Structure 1
Amino acid sequence: MSTNSSNRKLGLTARILIGLFAGIGTGLLLKLIFGEQGDLIIPLGFTSLSIKSLFVDGLFHVGGSVFVSSLKMIVVPLVFVSLVVGTCSLNDASKLARLGGKSISMYLLTTAIAITLAILFALFVGPGTGVDIPTNQVFEAKQAPGFAQVLIDMFPTNPFKSMAEGKMLQVIVFALLFGVAMALSGKPGERLASVFSDLNTVIMRLVVILMNLAPYGVFCLLAKLFTTLDGGTIFSLIKYFALVIFVLLLHGFVVYGSLLKLFTGLSPVIFFKKMRDAALFAFSTSSSGATLPVTMETATKKLGVKNSIASFTLPMGATLNMDGTAIMQGVATVFIAQVFGVDLSISDYLMVILTATLASIGTAAVPGVGLIMLAMVLQQVNLPVEGIALIIGVDRLLDMTRTAVNVTGDCMVSCVVAKSEKELDVDMFNDVNAGIDMENVDIHNLKS
């Protein structure tokens, strides 16, 4: 009674924030206790106890890894089932092409704006001017596949293998084809559609259960991160670090808010309030894919986006939307050019904008996509790829922030596309309490 009652009084966002700040505080405290040795050994008679092994490499590592794995566990079932449900409910097959065109256009537009803003602010601030960092680090860039190969790889030869390996573009393509086939199958398709609809409801409930475990997972993830974070590296790159954070926040709030208002007339304030949980999840996990279940729940249950739209735009956004990465690339390109004393022309910067925007689709399914895209951009304007090694030390923390920006952009585009297709429940969007009741589960009464 008391536990469940307190949970209901304390909202999910508040609980996640408590876990977040408690994790950061615990990590910094342990780092302070460890000192220069990097660990604290407590003698216990004939043996000794390593605090780092017990907490950082033990409790925090296991708790954080289990939390992220649990989220990733339901990504493929959620994407496949929800996309099948959304696709088979379409009355017009041509709507798929229309949705794809609108979604990809919006994602490319926001990516182009993001990297343009990053370059302009970087040129104005000059994050690499006067920076004296040893440049003898080595970074080996992986080779990105050609665009033609990316298109070929989108179509799975074995859809079950694609699901097992988490290849989202292949899962999306198979789900779309399967949904269209169901829609064209008459009564058998209708019977199967009801099964998938029930599966979708159950999976979304599983998402809610995992959301209630989020405060503990967030605590473990951030406690481990801030125990191992090198504050000296951040300080030496403070200008670069602060500029990337500033442009990310500018893009996340001003650009997304303006585009939402311009294309839909909806309130950006309400939108950002409802995005808090998903943004916190994204910040903690540093993965748009792992956050996808929460993003889906936010879009459909709080923002009023119909499942037929959200099931299409959000998985695509989690794969293709690279706004946060584009901002990092823009600032990093200017930073590396200034550190190495290379003057780039206006045509070089225009090439950076074009390359990064188009590469966001061409490298979507490649692991380590952010650094691969940056390597492509640097090579395009003849900058040393080894310069990436200079910024890797602070990239982990920046990655958390840019993932939150990417997830926010996914939902913004979903709202825009849904409004244009008249598939947005405006009353639900404007209801500040929409979806809150669903965030709590009573494990003591499973039939409720």
Structure 2
Amino acid sequence: MLLLVNLLSFSALCYLLYRLRCRGWPLSRQILAGLMAGAVYGVGLQVAWSGRADLLTDTLQWTGIVASGYVSLLRMIIMPLVLVMMVAAVLKMREVADLGKIGGAVVGLLIATTMVAAVVGILVTSAFGLTADSITQGARELASADLLAQRYETVAGLGLPDMLVRFVPANVFYDLTEARPTSIIAVVLFGILFGVAALQVARSEPARGAQIEAFVDTARLVVLRLVHIVMALTPYGILALIGGVVARSDAADILNLLAFVVASYLAIGIMFAVHALLLRVHGMGLRHYFRSVWPVLAFAFTSRSSAASIPLNVETQIDKLQVATPIASLSATLGATIGQNGCAGIYPAMLAVMIAPSMGIDPLAWDFMAGLVGIIAISSFGVAGVGGGATFAALIVLPAMGFPVTVAAVLISIEPLIDMARTALNVNGAMTAGVVTQRWLGASVARD
């Protein structure tokens, strides 16, 4: 009976969101309403049933159908969107040289901002005086440390060449199932090569070239319509996602590691300011920008998935920020796997600085900082190659510095709370790279 009450409350909130849609609310306001409703629902569950873990678990299993179903639908359209948009982007560029300019600018911006993020992580951690010894390790964290050590064995033997080789598709149909951590980049490469081949056919046989362009453009319109259909479900998905995150949060864990949480959010906030400065220098109005992108950031925050944010990322860049389709496609897809400011930049830098004093190293020494930033820049290419995420970034960076990896397990209990903001920062970095690249290249790249 209590479970039924919880589910009826959830259904009532879904109906409320539906009524807001019927009243003509724009999607951005619907998403905000879903975010607030989810937070209230999660807090209500935690307060009402703090002593009934079984009831809380059962409730979240049912509401998780909406959350997991929505994320699954988004993941369903990622690969078709990436493939079709890549082929369409190459066909519209006409010249392969333009592809090199766009790709170089986007990747360069992603790596540069990741290096800045690493410096920010170093300075903020030092300012807070955080050290690995100052964090209490409970039984759960020690158990996680053992698991983390086992996971480290899967990446310990991988060098940068091995990681880069994994980006090359051996079987594109296999990668279209998103079976590998590097599947997105593999599909991007296949789409680019397919588009280049289509360009060559169009030059040698103009009639067939026109047919190819018409087919690809039709496929692009169909996929974008599918994106719009799934995007209409975003408020309900965010309601379920944020409700689950809030309901599962452990206040004791958060308070125990509060200094690290605050330091992490401060570092993330500083990087958002760096992005804003970069945008303002290139003539982008910040009010317009953040009003346009905050639904994407809200989804990234709640879903904790840069890859799942790709469809909304691409659509927002093209429709709201006036970024050319080729640039938007490359920045959104590459930004989900390369040069992630939050996961590959801030997090491993903070962990390295926390460990350094116990190793007899001054974390503010120039040689240490330069080495750490350089390793982070290089390893940011390899994060996707070993599964993605901040933990795997730490598994690459810390051993390269000669540091133990088990300290990452200490933070497992609060990982979701910080990872939400890190993911939003990753996605914002990708959109910033797209906007700045558009300003650099300007009219030399076709808009549609």
The TM tier, using the shorter chain, reads 0.7 to 0.9
| AA at the equivalent of 1:375 | L
Match of 1:111 in 2: 114
1:84 to 76, 82, 87: 87
Cα distance in 1 for partners of 2:415, 2:337 equals: 20
| AA at the equivalent of 1:52 | T
Cα distance in 2 for partners of 1:28, 1:332 equals: 30
| AA at the equivalent of 2:155 | Q
Match of 2:48 in 1: 33
Tell me if the contact between 2:339 and 2:377 (Cα under 8 Å) persists in the aligned partners.
no
Tell me if the contact between 1:418 and 1:424 (Cα under 8 Å) persists in the aligned partners.
no
Q: Secondary structure at 2:384's aligned position in 1?
A: coil
Tell me if the contact between 1:31 and 1:38 (Cα under 8 Å) persists in the aligned partners.
no
1:329-368 paired onto structure 2 within 5 Å: 329-337=348-356, 340=358, 342-345=360-363, 346=365, 347-368=367-388
Cα distance in 1 for partners of 2:372, 2:189 equals: 30
Cα distance in 2 for partners of 1:29, 1:381 equals: 44
1:172-251 paired onto structure 2 within 5 Å: 172-186=188-202, 187-251=207-271
The offset of 1:202, in angstroms, is 1.8
| AA at the equivalent of 1:110 | T
Match of 2:392 in 1: 372
1:287 to 305, 310, 316: 305
| Aligned: 1:147 with 2:166 | no
Cα 1:30–1:371 shift into 2, 3 Å = same
Tell me if the contact between 2:89 and 2:325 (Cα under 8 Å) persists in the aligned partners.
yes
Unaligned runs of 5+ in 1: 41-50, 429-448
Cα distance in 2 for partners of 1:420, 1:132 equals: 45
Q: Secondary structure at 2:299's aligned position in 1?
A: helix
Tell me if the contact between 2:341 and 2:425 (Cα under 8 Å) persists in the aligned partners.
yes
| Aligned: 1:23 with 2:23 | no
Cα distance in 2 for partners of 1:190, 1:230 equals: 58
% identical aligned pairs: 27
Tell me if the contact between 2:163 and 2:386 (Cα under 8 Å) persists in the aligned partners.
no
Unaligned runs of 5+ in 2: 1-15
**What stretches of structure 1 move > 4 A for 4+ residues in a row?**
2-6
Tell me if the contact between 2:299 and 2:309 (Cα under 8 Å) persists in the aligned partners.
yes
Q: Secondary structure at 1:303's aligned position in 2?
A: coil
2:295 to 259, 277, 292: 277
The offset of 1:85, in angstroms, is 0.4
The offset of 1:337, in angstroms, is 4.1
Tell me if the contact between 1:240 and 1:335 (Cα under 8 Å) persists in the aligned partners.
no
Cα 1:272–1:156 shift into 2, 3 Å = same
Match of 1:403 in 2: 423
Residue by residue over 1:390-445, the C-alpha shift from the partner in whole angstroms, topping out at 9 and shown as x without a partner, is: 111111121111111111111111111112221499x99xxxxxxxxxxxxxxxxx
Tell me if the contact between 1:314 and 1:411 (Cα under 8 Å) persists in the aligned partners.
yes
| AA at the equivalent of 1:352 | L
Alignment length (residue pairs): 412
Question: TM-score, normalised to structure 1's length?
Answer: 0.86
The offset of 1:88, in angstroms, is 1.2
Q: Which has the higher helix share?
A: 2
| AA at the equivalent of 2:442 | K
Cα 1:423–1:414 shift into 2, 3 Å = farther
Tell me if the contact between 1:355 and 1:377 (Cα under 8 Å) persists in the aligned partners.
yes
Tell me if the contact between 2:91 and 2:195 (Cα under 8 Å) persists in the aligned partners.
yes
Match of 1:328 in 2: 347
